[in-house]
Amino acid sequence: MRRYENSKKGYEEILKMKPCVIVLEPTGVYAIRPSQYFKEKGIKVLQVSPNVLSREKELRGKKTDFYDAEKLENMVNRAKE
């Protein structure tokens, strides 16, 4: 799992990968800046409810950023199929 700062520097690092979509778990004020930044750059931003991710916790017994990121990635990959 890669980690990026929630700052312009971190967003620019993400842009280097030329993403066509960004998927975020809306976490209040922490999701506003990246959502706005990527939308202004013309990149589609999807926000997935934490409730969707917390259902996975019930199956695994834990909820962590790593598992959340993995789940979001799997959701995007399935949506592309």
pLDDT digits (tens, 9 = 90+) for 5-39: 999 999 999 999 998 888 888 888 889 999 999 99
Tokens representing 32? 């506003």
Domains of the chain, by residue range, sit at 13-80
User: Cβ atoms within 10 A of the Cβ of 37, count?
Assistant: 19
pTM, two decimal places? 0.71
Asked if the model's pLDDT at residue 49 lies above 90, the reply is no
